[in-house]
């Protein structure tokens, strides 16, 4: 018997829910594809013909749900889905995703011994290159060059020696790097990285290699209309409707987080709320109790600063956010009912509790709030 049916889980109604907008996700992909192939796109070398968008699905698709997002985008004709680990690649494989998968992160070479795998790999170390050559010779590899971000990648000065030692049976189908400040087109480092990536293309060509895919840009670089001779761009944050620039570019946020109101309480003046009593009622007030906290992804830095929306009214978070509980001021909200929906993170970028605005309150980046959404929270496509 199906264990979910045995436990009655098919009828389970979660208190906390993440909604993923299929239409917004597809619209963002289309918008980004059109932008990358518009007449305004700066082509800096002759390699560019038509720029393809490769969705970045690493880190649980930036908290949106790896499998859900992959299934929505599986028929858009993307050259790859980009993930970080062999675990994420396996999850997509088990879900019968048809789009090719590029693993961008480092892999323990021993994990490639088990069986033949239908993945492509980013390589920047000789041990991984040799392991792929020996155990996954059918796989495509993308040479990752460090263009002065000084993270992963083959340093440009070492690239000729790396290519000289590269196993001859490897299928080099890509050349890639990553921008440190793609949102700053005039930043000296951005200009240097573009120049270095073009040098890398020249070096690879001298070794007789002609990679099918050449890619450097992320969301920021793509929206900035940079293109150092690429025909693919890896897009993450913008795909999910959040612009790394002050300009929205008509992107639409994909994710909405909701919970339920589970209790309503009256407080007298001078009463304190939550751990350490960090909020003191200045007058009699009504508070609502929500079954969601920092375990679930409501950042603790929103304590006494953040917002939720109930009945169309913006409500302030009061007191310290607990592991699984958040308390909000609902004094001004009419017609309160136990069980009614509460929007914790809004998909309207203008709302005070949008991911973008919540990140500003926390003095962090939207990425951090998104990827800290608990994987155990139910996600649905709407």
C-beta separation of 238 from 183 below 8 A: no
Give the separation between CA 111 and CA 128, rounded to whole angstroms: 10
Question: Which of 351, 350, 347, 301 is closest to 326 using CA atoms?
Answer: 301
Q: Are strands 140-146 and 171-176 parallel, antiparallel or unpaired?
A: parallel
C-beta separation of 178 from 138 below 8 A: no
Q: Are strands 326-329 and 263-267 parallel, antiparallel or unpaired?
A: unpaired
**Is 58 among the residues known to form the active site?**
yes
Burial of 180 (0-12, 13-18, 19+ CB in 10 A): middle
Q: Sheet containing 17-20: give its strands across.
A: 313-316, 307-310, 341-345, 255-260, 17-20, 378-381
Q: Which residue reads 């007789």 in tokens?
A: 208
| Choice among 29, 52, 58, 62 that is catalytic | 58
Backbone conformation region of residue 229, classed left if phi is above 0, alpha if psi is from -120 to 50, else beta? left
**Is 42 among the residues known to form the active site?**
no
Burial of 281 (0-12, 13-18, 19+ CB in 10 A): middle
C-beta separation of 59 from 371 below 8 A: yes
CB atoms within 10 A of CB 108: 11
| Choice among 134, 165, 205, 275 that is catalytic | 275
Give the separation between CA 90 and CA 92, rounded to whole angstroms: 5
Q: Please list the active-site residues.
A: 58, 275
């Amino acid at each position: 018997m199906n264990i979910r049916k045995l436990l009655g889980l098919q009828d389970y109604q979660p208190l906390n829910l993440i909604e993923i907008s299929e239409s917004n996700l597809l619209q963002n992909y289309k918008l980004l594809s059109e932008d990358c192939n518009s007449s305004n796109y700066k082509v800096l070398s002759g390699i560019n013909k038509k720029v393809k968008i490769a969705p970045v699905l690493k880190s649980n698709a930036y908290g949106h749900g790896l499998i859900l997002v992959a299934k929505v985008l599986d028929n858009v004709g993307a050259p790859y889905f980009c993930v970080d680990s062999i675990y994420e690649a396996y999850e997509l494989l088990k879900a019968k995703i048809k789009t090719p998968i590029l693993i961008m992160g480092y892999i323990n070479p021993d994990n490639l011994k088990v069986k033949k795998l239908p993945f492509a790999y980013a390589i920047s170390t000789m041990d991984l290159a040799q392991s792929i050559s020996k155990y996954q010779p059918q796989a495509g590899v993308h040479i990752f060059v460090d263009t002065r971000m000084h993270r992963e990648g083959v340093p440009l000065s070492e690239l000729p020696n790396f290519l000289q030692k590269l196993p001859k049976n490897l299928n080099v189908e890509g050349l890639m790097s990553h921008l440190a400040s793609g949102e700053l087109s005039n930043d000296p480092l951005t200009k240097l990285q573009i120049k270095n990536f073009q040098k890398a293309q020249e070096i690879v060509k001298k070794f007789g290699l002609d990679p099918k895919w050449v890619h450097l840009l992320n969301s920021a670089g793509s929206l900035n209309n940079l293109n150092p001779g690429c025909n693919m761009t890896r897009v993450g944050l913008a795909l999910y409707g959040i612009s790394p620039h002050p300009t929205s570019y008509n992107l639409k946020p994909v994710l909405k987080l909701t919970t339920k109101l589970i209790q309503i309480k009256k407080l007298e003046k001078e009463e304190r709320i939550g751990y350490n009593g960090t909020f003191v009622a200045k007058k009699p007030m009504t508070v609502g109790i929500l079954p969601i906290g920092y375990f679930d992804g409501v950042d603790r830095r929103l304590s006494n600063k953040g917002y939720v929306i109930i009945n169309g009214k913006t409500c302030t978070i009061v007191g310290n956010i607990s592991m699984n509980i958040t308390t909000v001021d609902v004094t001004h909200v009419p017609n309160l009912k136990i069980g009614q929906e509460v929007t914790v993170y809004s998909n309207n970028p203008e709302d005070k509790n949008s991911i973008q605005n919540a990140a500003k309150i926390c003095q962090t980046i939207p990425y951090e709030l998104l990827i800290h959404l608990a994987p155990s929270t139910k996600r649905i496509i709407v």
